[in-house]
C-alpha cells in the first residue's frame, strides 16, 4: 500500500466518522430539545459533540455550515406557536477541564491585550432556557430557546410559575424588557413528584431537568401549575427605554430591582485562577443546593469588552460554561442479581458494563427493591442511564426503551435465596423489602461479621470482605464473637497472610475489645439502631447489660430513641441466640461499659405512671422534663397509648401525639399543670 492510497483511506475513514457523528448528534439533539425524551445522558452527548468538533477542526475541508456541531438547541415543536427571538438565544462553548478553562482565559487576554479583565461567575442551572418578554411592565410572552432564532410560545404555562412576576416594579421600568433565564424544578419538588408516581404505580421521572421540560410542554397550563416549577434570571435580551448598563453585574442588579429572581450565588473575580478555584468549590458542593447544577457559567463582566470580542456563529467568545464531570452516563445492564444483607434483606443490584461516571468507574449499581425494578422496568441487556452523585451509591435511573433488544422479558424477583441453603425469600404484607428469614444463611452471617468489624462499629482494621469469607467458609468464625478466639496459626492458614500480617490482624481484633459502648451497640447490627441512638443509649444507661435489661418503654424515653427503635432493641435481646452471642462477647472480655450511679429518687409520686412530653417548655428542656418524671418513679416514653397517664404539651406539640391523647382520653397538661403533677402526682381538677 503506497502513501497516497493510505492517506485516501484515512480521509475516507474520517469523513465517514464525521458523517456518522453528525447523524448521531442531530438525532440526540432532537430527542433532548424537541421531544424532551433523551436516550443518552448529557455526558455521553457532550462526548459525541466534542469528538465531532475536534474532527471538524482538524479537517476543516470536511466541515459544513449545516453540521449539527454548529446548532443551537433544536427546532421548535409544532405543538406550540413559533416565536421569533428579537435577540438570538445563543449557546455556550464548554470547558471540561481546568486546562480548558485556563486556555479560554488566555484567549480572552490575547483579545484584550494589556486590559484589566473582570469575570462574573454564575451557577449553571440544569433546567430549560427561557426568554420572557415584558411590555409596559406587564408580562406578555414566554418562549423556549428552540433553535436559537425561533422558539415555542409557552406563555400560558410560564405564567403559572410563582417566581415569574406578572408586573415589574422599580423606579425605571423599560418600555420593553426581555429576560433570559432558566426554568427549573427544585430537587424537593422532583422527589415529591416521583413519590406520587411510585404510589400510583406510574413510571418515574428520570431527572429534574427532563421533568421541568415535560411540565412546560403541557397543553393544559393547569398541569404545569401543579409541578412547582421555579425560575432564575441570568441575562438581558431585548431592552427598549432602559438605563445604561455598563456591566453584566449591573444588569443583574437592575433585573433584581425589577422583581426578577436572580441567583444569589453570583461572584466576581479578577483572575482566571480565582475563577478556577470557584469552579472547584461548586463542583465539591453542587449537592448543597435544592436545585440541580451541572457547572459554572463564566462571563466577561464589561459590556464594551464583550462587544469587541464578539461571537462565533453559535456562541459568544466572552463566555464559557465550565462543565462538572457528568453524574449520568449510559451503559449496558449485563445482569440483575440479588445481595443478602446482615438482616436478611434481599436487595437487587445491577451488574453493568463498567462506565466512568461521577468521578469513578462504576460496574455495580443499586436497584433498591422489587418495586423499584418493576417501576423502572429495567431488564438484562438494556441500555440504561446510570447516576452517581457525589458519595451517593450509584443507581440505575431507567432504561433507554428505544434501544431495548427485541424479545426481552421483564425481570422477576427470585423466590429463593442464592445462598447454599436456598431458603425461601419472604415479603411481608405492607413492607417494601423482601427478606431471607433463615438465620443460618451464610450470606447474612458474612454480612454480620463484616458489619461488626466496620469502621463505624468495632473498627477492626484489615478485616475486609475477602478475609471474612475465608474465616467463615473455613469454619473458624460462625459469628463476630468468634473473632476473639482466633490464633496466629489459624490466620496463617488463610490465603494472603504471613506472620507480620497475621499478627497485625490479631492485634486489631484484640484492640477492638476496648471500643466504647456506642461502638459496641452499633456493631450488634440491631435493626433501626444507628450510631446516634447508640450514643444516646450509652449516655443514659452506661452498660450493655443495662440496655439489654431495660423494658421497651424505658428505652423509648431516651432522647433520640423513640418507640420504633426501642421495640427493635427489646425484641433483639429477647431472642435466645442473641443473648448467647452477648455472653460470648462477655467471655471474650469485650468492654460492656461502666455502670452509672443510681439516681436518688426525688419522690415516688409518679411510680408506675407513664407521662409523655411533647413540644417546647419554658422551664425545662425535653430531656430535663423526662428526667424529672423518672426521678419521681415514672416513665416517659416517646409515644402516647391508652396506658399513658398524661401528655405534657408545650409550644409546638407533636400533632400526632395530641390527636392520639384526645382519641384515647389521656389528659393534656400545660406547663403549670405539669409542675403540679411533679409536686403532688395529681392531675388538675376538671
Backbone angles phi, psi at 203, to 5 degrees: -65, 140
Could you give the CA distance from residue 544 to residue 369 in angstroms, rounded to a whole number?
34
189-195, long-range: CB within 8 Å, 24+ apart, which pairs? Answer: 189/227, 189/228, 189/229, 192/228, 193/227
What are the C-alpha distances in Å from 28 to residues 25, 143, 375, 402? 5, 22, 25, 12
The question of whether 124 is a catalytic residue gets the answer: yes
Could you give the CA distance from residue 499 to residue 488 in angstroms, rounded to a whole number?
8
Beta strands 82-84 and 267-269: pairing type? unpaired
Provide CB contacts within 8 A for 149, sequence distance 6+. 84, 85, 88
Helix (H/G/I), strand (E/B), else coil: 556:
helix
Q: Are 396 and 384 in contact (CB under 8 A)?
A: yes
Beta strands 128-135 and 138-144: pairing type? antiparallel
Q: Which helix (H) or strand (E) holds 339?
A: strand 328-340
Could you give the CA distance from residue 344 to residue 443 in angstroms, rounded to a whole number?
8
55-64, long-range: CB within 8 Å, 24+ apart, which pairs? Answer: 55/14, 55/17, 55/18, 55/21, 56/18, 59/11, 59/14, 59/15, 59/18, 62/14, 62/15, 62/18, 63/18
Radius of gyration, alpha carbons of the chain: 32
Beta strands 646-649 and 611-614: pairing type? parallel
Q: Are 333 and 379 in contact (CB under 8 A)?
A: yes
Residues recognised as catalytic: 124
Amino acid at each position: 500500500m503506497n502513501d497516497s492510497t493510505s492517506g485516501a483511506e484515512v480521509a475516507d475513514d474520517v469523513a465517514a466518522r464525521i458523517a456518522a457523528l453528525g447523524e448521531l448528534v442531530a438525532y440526540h439533539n432532537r430527542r433532548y430539545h424537541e421531544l424532551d425524551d433523551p436516550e443518552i445522558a448529557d455526558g455521553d452527548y457532550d462526548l459525541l459533540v466534542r469528538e465531532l468538533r475536534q474532527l471538524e477542526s482538524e479537517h476543516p475541508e470536511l466541515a459544513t455550515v449545516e453540521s449539527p456541531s454548529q446548532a443551537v438547541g433544536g427546532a421548535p415543536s409544532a405543538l406550540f406557536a413559533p416565536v421569533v427571538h428579537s435577540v438570538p438565544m445563543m449557546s455556550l462553548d464548554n470547558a471540561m477541564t481546568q486546562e480548558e478553562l485556563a486556555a479560554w482565559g488566555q484567549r480572552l487576554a490575547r483579545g484584550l491585550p494589556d486590559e484589566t479583565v473582570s469575570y462574573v461567575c454564575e451557577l449553571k442551572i440544569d433546567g430549560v432556557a427561557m426568554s420572557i418578554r415584558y411590555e409596559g411592565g406587564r408580562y406578555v410572552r414566554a418562549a423556549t430557546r428552540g433553535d436559537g432564532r425561533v422558539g415555542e410560545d409557552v406563555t400560558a404555562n410560564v405564567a403559572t410559575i410563582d417566581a415569574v412576576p406578572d408586573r415589574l416594579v422599580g423606579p425605571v421600568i423599560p418600555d420593553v424588557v426581555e429576560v433570559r433565564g432558566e426554568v427549573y424544578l427544585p430537587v424537593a419538588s422532583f422527589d415529591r413528584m416521583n413519590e406520587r408516581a411510585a404510589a400510583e404505580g406510574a413510571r418515574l421521572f428520570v431527572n429534574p431537568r427532563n421533568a421541568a421540560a415535560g411540565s412546560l410542554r403541557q397543553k393544559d397550563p393547569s398541569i404545569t401549575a401543579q409541578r412547582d416549577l421555579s425560575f432564575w434570571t441570568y441575562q438581558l435580551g431585548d431592552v427598549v427605554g432602559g438605563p445604561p448598563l455598563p456591566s453584566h453585574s449591573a444588569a443583574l442588579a437592575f433585573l433584581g430591582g425589577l422583581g426578577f429572581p436572580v441567583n444569589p450565588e453570583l461572584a466576581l473575580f479578577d483572575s482566571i485562577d480565582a475563577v478556577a478555584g470557584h469552579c472547584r468549590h461548586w463542583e465539591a458542593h453542587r449537592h448543597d443546593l435544592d436545585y440541580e447544577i451541572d457547572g459554572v457559567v463564566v462571563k466577561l463582566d464589561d459590556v464594551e469588552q464583550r462587544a469587541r470580542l464578539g461571537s462565533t456563529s453559535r456562541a459568544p467568545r466572552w463566555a464559557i460554561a465550565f462543565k462538572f464531570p457528568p453524574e449520568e452516563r449510559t451503559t449496558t445492564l449485563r445482569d440483575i442479581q440479588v445481595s443478602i444483607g446482615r438482616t436478611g434483606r434481599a436487595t437487587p443490584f445491577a451488574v453493568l458494563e463498567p462506565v466512568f461516571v461521577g468521578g469513578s468507574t462504576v460496574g455495580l449499581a443499586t436497584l433498591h427493591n422489587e418495586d423499584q425494578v418493576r417501576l423502572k422496568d429495567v431488564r438484562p441487556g438494556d441500555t440504561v442511564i446510570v447516576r452517581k452523585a457525589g458519595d451517593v451509591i450509584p443507581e440505575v435511573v431507567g432504561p433507554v426503551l428505544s434501544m431495548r433488544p427485541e424479545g426481552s422479558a421483564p425481570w422477576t424477583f427470585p423466590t429463593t435465596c442464592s445462598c447454599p441453603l436456598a431458603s425461601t425469600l419472604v415479603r411481608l404484607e405492607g413492607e417494601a423489602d423482601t427478606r431471607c428469614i433463615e438465620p443460618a444463611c451464610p450470606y447474612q452471617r458474612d454480612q454480620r461479621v463484616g458489619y461488626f468489624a466496620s469502621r463505624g462499629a468495632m473498627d477492626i482494621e484489615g478485616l475486609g470482605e475477602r478475609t471474612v469469607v475465608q474465616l467463615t467458609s473455613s469454619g473458624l468464625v460462625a459469628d463476630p464473637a468468634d473473632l476473639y478466639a482466633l490464633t496466629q496459626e489459624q490466620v496463617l492458614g488463610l490465603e494472603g497472610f504471613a506472620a507480620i500480617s497475621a499478627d497485625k490482624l490479631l492485634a486489631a481484633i484484640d484492640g477492638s475489645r476496648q471500643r466504647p459502648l456506642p461502638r459496641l451497640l452499633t456493631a450488634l447490627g440491631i435493626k433501626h439502631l444507628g450510631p446516634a441512638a447508640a450514643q444516646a443509649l450509652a449516655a443514659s444507661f452506661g452498660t450493655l447489660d443495662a440496655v439489654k435489661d431495660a423494658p421497651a418503654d424505658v428505652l423509648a424515653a431516651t432522647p433520640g430513641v423513640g418507640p420504633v427503635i426501642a421495640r427493635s432493641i427489646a425484641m433483639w435481646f429477647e431472642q435466645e441466640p442473641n443473648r448467647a452471642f452477648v455472653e460470648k462477647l462477655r467471655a471474650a472480655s469485650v468492654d460492656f461499659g461502666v455502670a452509672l450511679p443510681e439516681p436518688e429518687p426525688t419522690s415516688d409520686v409518679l411510680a408506675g405512671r407513664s407521662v409523655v412530653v411533647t413540644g417546647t417548655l419554658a422551664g425545662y428542656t425535653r430531656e430535663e422534663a423526662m428526667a424529672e418524671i423518672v426521678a419521681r418513679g415514672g416513665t416517659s416514653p416517646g409515644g402516647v397509648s391508652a396506658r399513658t397517664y398524661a401528655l405534657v404539651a408545650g409550644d409546638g406539640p407533636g400533632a400526632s401525639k395530641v390527636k392520639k391523647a384526645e382519641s384515647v382520653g389521656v389528659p393534656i397538661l400545660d406547663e403549670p399543670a405539669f409542675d403540679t403533677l411533679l409536686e403532688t402526682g395529681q392531675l388538675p381538677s376538671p
